[in-house]
Amino acid sequence: MGRIICISNQKGGVGKTTTAINLAASLAAAERKVLLVDMDPQGNAGSGLGLKRENLQGTVYDALLGGRPIGELLHPTELRFLQVVPATPDLTGAEVELVNQERREYRLRDALRPMAEQYDYILIDCPPSLGLLTLNSLIAADSVLIPLQCEYYALEGLSQLNHTIDLVKQAFNPGLKMEGILLTMFDSRANIANQVVADVREYFKEQVFTSVVPRNVRLSECPSFGKPILLYDIKSKGCESYLALGREIMQREPTPPPARKVA
């Protein structure tokens, strides 16, 4: 079974979608078969990998509310081992439409389960909120990766998210684990950034990834070209940090994954 990792933080602007795209690309570059599922109505995970909204042949909305199998919603990318299930602003209405649906909290889990054996990793990019879309993502996941911006208010949002994760474990998904906390947008020149890093590492210890994502102009540029940083500027500091993150996650694999066919 592939590992399902939910990338979540209810605070916007922390590098969540950037992490989803570039971690997926790093794992795919290592020939791990990866599926990236976009649960954010902004749809940036798809556009950041070069998908054009007018060319989409179905989105995650069709799986959650239309009953279409995930296998019919896969879109290829420039990376051979990476596929995407995209999202569009239509997904905004799903929060309301799901309220009266049966098994409303389990829609994403039910959709992904038949696909889990076909991938080494399934990454879920969550919206910056704690509504039904994020709840579906947390219930579907094996673990949660939390991007944490190196700024003053970061720890306040982290405590709220940890509380939500605990509630989800108690009520819906007892096997949910912490994949790790990823420090993002780090500026070594800023005293507050260094203080946040020290505080987070002291409090959360081994739950914090060794890899730290710096503030990097090339990382901010690549979405406008529809490319992950790996295909935009492989020599940049941003690319180096996400490749390192991919290696950290792959080191946790109990055994080397089996060879998988690529469509």
Long-range pairs of 150-156 with CB within 8 A, sequence gap ≥ 24: 150/183, 150/184, 150/185, 150/186, 150/187, 150/190, 150/192, 150/193, 150/196, 150/197, 151/185, 151/192, 151/193, 151/196, 152/192, 152/196, 153/11, 154/11, 154/14, 154/196, 154/200, 155/196, 155/199, 155/200
Determine the pLDDT at residue 260: 58
More confident residue, 43 or 259: 43
Residue of 62, 65, 94, 74 whose CA lies nearest to 34 = 74
Determine the pLDDT at residue 263: 47
Mean pLDDT computed over 150-171: 85
Sign of CA dihedral 47, 30, 15, 227: negative
Mean pLDDT computed over 116-136: 93
Kindly tell me if the per-residue pLDDT of 259 is higher than 70.
no
* DSSP H or E segment with residue 67: none
pTM for the full model? 0.93
- Spatial separation of the C-alpha atoms in residues 239 and 253, rounded to whole Å: 22
pLDDT band at 148 (very low <50, low <70, confident <90, very high): very high
Determine the pLDDT at residue 164: 87
pLDDT in tens, 35-70: 999 999 999 999 999 999 888 889 999 999 988 999
Determine the pLDDT at residue 234: 93
pLDDT in tens, 179-194: 999 999 998 888 888 9
More confident residue, 159 or 65: 65
- Spatial separation of the C-alpha atoms in residues 79 and 234, rounded to whole Å: 14
